[in-house]
Amino acid sequence: MKKNNIDQKRRDFLKLGFVAGSGLLIGIHLPGCTEAANQSVSTPEIQDDEFKANAWIKINSDGMITVTVSHSEMGQGISTAISMIVAEELEADWSKVRFEMAPVEDVYKHPKYGIQWTVSSMSIHASWDLWRKAGASARQLLILSAARFWGVSVNECLAENSTVIHKPSSQTINYGELIDKTDGLSLPENVRLKRPDEFKIIGKSVLRLDSHEKIDGSAVFGTDVKVPGMLIATIVHPPVFGAGIKSLDAREALTMPGIKNVLTIETGVAIVAETFWQASSAIPSLNIEWEKSDNRHVSTRQLFKRWKKLGAKEGKVFFEEGDVKPVFESTSRVVEATYDLPYQAHATPEPMNCTASVTKTGCEIWVPTQNQKGAQEIAARITGLDNEQIRVHTTFLGCGFGRRALVDYVGEAVEISRKINAPVKLIWTREEDIQHDFYRPATHNVMKATIDSHGRPTAWLHRIVGADVFAQAMPKVISGMMPDSTPRFLKNMATSLAETFLPRIIAGKKAIKSAGPLPYRIPNVQVEFINDDPGIPIGWWRSVAPSANCFAVECFIDELAAAGKRDPYELRIELLGANPRLQHVVRKVAEMANWYEPPPNGTHRGIAAHDFQSTMMAYVAEVSVNDFNEIMVHRVFCAVDCGIAVNPGNIEAQVISALAFGLTATIKSSITFREGKVEQGNFDDFPVLRMDEMPRVEVFVVPSNNPPTGIGEVGVPIIAPAVANAVYAATGKRLRSLPLRLDEA
Amino acid sequence: MPRLRINGDVRDVNVPPDTPLLWVLNEQLGLTGTKYSCGISECGACTVLINGEPVLSCGLPVSEAEGVDIVTIEGLHGPVADALRNAWIAEDVVQCGYCQPAQLLTAAALLSTNFNPSDEDIDAAMSDVICRCGTYQAIRKAIHRAAGEIRHEKK
Ligand code: FES
Ligand code: FES
């Protein structure tokens, strides 16, 4: 009894301490609340032998340290990286550190976006200091408690390896033994953070914390969630995007074994059964008549024809430096080309899925998502419950790639559970997943440039025609960025206002990323965007706009080098004079690839580089073309500067991962529409890179003391141009659309 | 009622005989390490070992899986499996992890007959299992490492 009282006081105090302290962190109890508050929906429960130092750190009496990870683990290694950063400043014994996924809480909001989600390679970059401070404050609190316990001066104590040491007497005490000795202490403010040369964990290639459960089959992904009484659902969406349902005849389906229900929901027709196999087997027996949508005329072939026409005229200027017009008028050495980028699917290995259990008083959701707040929001909208009545559990994600930043599948599961009054796990078939994605938008790119007598570009025009991801996707997430206390009608109003006006306001701004400003010094640059959205659903696809823009930019730079009879590497180095970090990376990659030596037998080289949110990267690809005109990528060199390399081994893994992802889009797959329908439907017609197609990759991570920048996406955009430029070196042919196909050239 | 031998146990399952083995394992028996990703024998996520050979369980009716030895990731044990798991950890192979049970099972089948696979052997054996995270290079390294460990122990 007594211990409980002490614990209660301690917890209350910690809460107050944190509020008065750095203001970064919350405790677990509301002041003056009784034990009942422990069970409040949104706060994780704390055991008696646990001490929650702050929102990020829990320490057990046995010394185990649990770091709360506010970002989704989709393979990018964030759970290990956050744990490393916290453990570094905490002076934790790394072998005692583990992690758990955070619930939805304000404290876990992304500091840049104001919403709890994992996007844009921004996790480490944006929260690096926050996590370091969380670790450092907890460490200082533990030192203070040890000093008081011993009755010695705090200045004589230091922390190391989960132990506080009193230097003069050499006595030591473990963190686990200190968790009940912090009563009455307040969270230290303004603790000193370590200098990079003091790092013990950061900068080392630390092994991932999530390996074991992923190699014995026990890791819980969304598809593995089990809830008592749960039914399984699958869904059929309108084949022509945007079409509504005219009529549904489910009589035959309802006679099939295990089928419990067939119902119409906002986005399509859901089939509920005892198992997924039963549900998905019933799909062909459904008789659904879809409404005729105008979208039935949308075809990508026509679309590119239209964009070609549109691209012949001037667009809206979104970036301008100098003045291209007079240069174009007065120079004869003009180079022109157009580049076409197709729609792309995310094709995450784990199809979209979500488990939801809706009751009158609450809603519980288990979901592999990149957008916890969005999941809570859409559930609140559908159920009419308050945000705090909705509890979101994040499972492991079988990849995200940006697809899971949108939460349509959460809304569907919640709607089904609510309508059938039972917990339900919704799993999409692969076909639905490929055909009802939010795709990387296609674009048509018009490029025009002039070069001087030294082969240097003097004017550069890049006109992009297509739709802007942000214009379509932002209205879908905007309500999650508003405070929970905002009345629902206001949130709904904001959403519909955003749907109406936001596209016009923001279309183009982010669609030109990596097209302007350019990393290269060119005196006159103009980047235009022509907004023509055919309505095809689009979303964030690993690296977003640069995944398309860099193809045009980096191939066109190569074309200019060829036109000016310049070595494409040397031209880049010359144009990067004002950008020493990227210039260094380009030099480094050329050195790795022995640029001035002939490439290995039968192969040819291509180079590409870019600056992605201050991460600098360059590739050299070694490529050959066989007698069947097939393109084979044998080896790729990569140099990358992403500031402090928190976990260099993981950085290498992320580069290789992004490269493989980009290579599928470079040489294998794309999404096309015909009569409003996606023509691909599974991995047979949307093939993904396999092991025998994977090049050898060598990665060099530039040592740096700058704050860390992102790594999850930067490797995607430049693999296509590096390979295309190598194909040019091999064949003399410029391939200006993806995926690269020599037989069509 | 199909009777199956899975991970050394005999299990009777009450499903229609044309149910794919994948769904029997995953849904009826709760062996969720066997994953669904395509359902059309294209991606390899549903790989299990049948009499030691990798088989795509989404394409195999349960009626055809009677009387054989089925091993899923949950039942993958022994010296080859240990060597592979150690190597997987040491090479930090996994990313999202969704394909990894299938990768390990396929690698175990390879190493049980070939203790010294070349890169080409590895590519040929492993190319049925897609990894969208692109962990292929790390998998190659890990298989070489595990093979080395097995050869070492055999000496
Ligand atoms: S799920 Fe069986 S091969 Fe893809
Ligand atoms: S680890 Fe993610 S698909 Fe292989």
- Do residue A219 and residue B97 have CB atoms under 8 angstroms apart? yes
**A526: which residues sit within 8 A by CB, 6+ positions away?**
A317, A319, A320, A321, A324, A459, A460, A461, A462, A516
Residues of B with CB below 8 A from A396's CB? 96-97
Task: For each of the domains in chain A, give its residue range(s) and CATH number, in order of start.
Answer: 14-214 (3.30.365.10), 222-293+352-427 (3.30.365.10), 300-344+440-744 (3.30.365.10)
Positive/negative CA dihedral, A134, A140, A142, A145: negative
Residues of A with CB below 8 A from B42's CB? 682-684
Q: Tell me the ligand closest to A76's alpha carbon.
A: 2
Query: Nearest C-alpha of chain B: how many angstroms from A654?
Result: 9
Q: List, for residues A471-519, the tens digit of each pLDDT value.
A: 999 899 889 888 888 999 999 999 999 999 988 899 999 999 999 999 9
Q: Whose Cα sits closest to atom 4 in ligand 2?
A: B131
Domain identity same for B68 and B16: yes
Report how far residue A148's alpha carbon sits from residue A181's, in angstroms, rounded to the nearest whole number.
Answer: 9
Residue A114 CA to ligand 2 center (angstroms) comes to 30
Report how far residue A322's alpha carbon sits from residue B67's, in angstroms, rounded to the nearest whole number.
Answer: 76
Domain identity same for B95 and B52: no
Of A569, A576, A471, A476, the C-alpha closest to A517 is: A576
- Of B13, B41, B75, which marks where a domain is finished? B75
- Within B26-154, strands assigned E span 47-50, 53-56, 69-71
- Do residue B124 and residue A692 have CB atoms under 8 angstroms apart? yes
Report how far residue A354's alpha carbon sits from residue A111's, in angstroms, rounded to the nearest whole number.
Answer: 26
Ligand 2 pocket test, candidate residues B38, B131, B140, most atoms within 8 A of CB: B131
Domain identity same for B142 and B86: yes
Q: Does residue A650 sit at the B interface (CB-CB below 8 Å)?
A: yes
How many other CB atoms are there within 10 angstroms of residue A294's CB atom? 11
Q: State the pairing for strand pair A424-427/A443-451.
A: unpaired
Amino acid at residue number B5? R
Which of B36, B40, B139 has its CB closest to that of A684? B40
Domain identity same for B84 and B65: no
A133, two tokens: 């401070």
Domain at B60, CATH number: 3.10.20.30
Q: List, for residues A332-376, the tens digit of each pLDDT value.
A: 799 999 999 999 999 999 999 999 999 999 999 999 999 999 999
Q: Which residues pair with A447 in a beta bridge?
A: A337, A462
Of B102, B27, B116, the C-alpha closest to B72 is: B102
A14, two tokens: 């910690």
Q: Are A638 and A695 a contacting pair, CB within 8 Å?
A: no
Residues of B with CB below 8 A from A692's CB? 123-124, 127
Which of A208, A218, A691 has its CB closest to that of B94? A208
Q: How far is CA A426 from CA A221, A257, A368, A403, A618, in A?
A: 13, 18, 12, 16, 41
Domain identity same for B85 and B37: no
Residue A219 CA to ligand 2 center (angstroms) comes to 13
Residue B98 CA to ligand 2 center (angstroms) comes to 5
Domain identity same for B91 and B71: no
Q: List, for residues A19-33, the tens digit of each pLDDT value.
A: 222 222 222 222 222
Query: Nearest C-alpha of chain B: how many angstroms from A400?
Result: 9
Given a cut of 80, whether residue A737 has pLDDT beyond it is yes
Which of B20, B96, B128 has its CB closest to that of A74? B96
Q: Tell me the ligand closest to B48's alpha carbon.
A: 1
- Do residue A656 and residue B134 have CB atoms under 8 angstroms apart? yes
Q: Are A93 and A164 a contacting pair, CB within 8 Å?
A: no
Residue A697 CA to ligand 1 center (angstroms) comes to 27
Residue B122 Cβ < 6 Å to ligand 1:
no
First vs last Cα of chain B: how many Å apart?
46
Domain identity same for B135 and B90: yes
Residues of B with CB below 8 A from A74's CB? 96
* In A91-236, alpha helices (H): 123-150, 175-178, 211-215
Of A200, A196, A208, the C-alpha closest to A91 is: A200
pLDDT score, position A609: 98
Domain at B107, CATH number: 1.10.150.120
Domain identity same for B104 and B132: yes
Domain identity same for B54 and B109: no
Domain identity same for B44 and B98: no
Query: Nearest C-alpha of chain B: how many angstroms from A272?
Result: 15
pLDDT score, position A71: 87
> Can you tell me whether residue A509 is helix, strand or coil?
coil
Q: Which residue of B has its CA nearest to A221?
A: B98
**Domain that residue B36 falls in:** 3-75
Report how far residue A314's alpha carbon sits from residue A222's, in angstroms, rounded to the nearest whole number.
Answer: 47
- Of B75, B98, B121, which marks where a domain is finished? B75
* In A265-424, alpha helices (H): 276-281, 300-311, 324-330, 372-383, 408-420
Q: Whose Cα sits closest to atom 3 in ligand 1?
A: B41
Domain identity same for B94 and B111: yes
- Of B41, B75, B109, which marks where a domain is finished? B75
How many separate domains does chain B show? 2
Given a cut of 60, whether residue A237 has pLDDT beyond it is yes
Least confident of A152-156, A399-403, A481-485: A481-485
- Do residue A211 and residue B93 have CB atoms under 8 angstroms apart? yes
Given a cut of 80, whether residue A93 has pLDDT beyond it is yes
Q: Which residues pair with A526 in a beta bridge?
A: A320, A461
How sure is the predictor about A233, in pLDDT bands with cuts at 50, 70 and 90?
Answer: very high
Q: How far is CA B78 from CA B81, B82, B94, in A?
A: 5, 6, 21
Which residue positions in chain B have pLDDT lower than 50?
none
Task: Give the count of alpha carbons within 13 A of B57, CB side only.
Answer: 32
pLDDT score, position A741: 97
> Can you tell me whether residue A404 is helix, strand or coil?
helix
Domain identity same for B101 and B137: yes
> Can you tell me whether residue A649 is helix, strand or coil?
helix
- Do residue B33 and residue A217 have CB atoms under 8 angstroms apart? yes
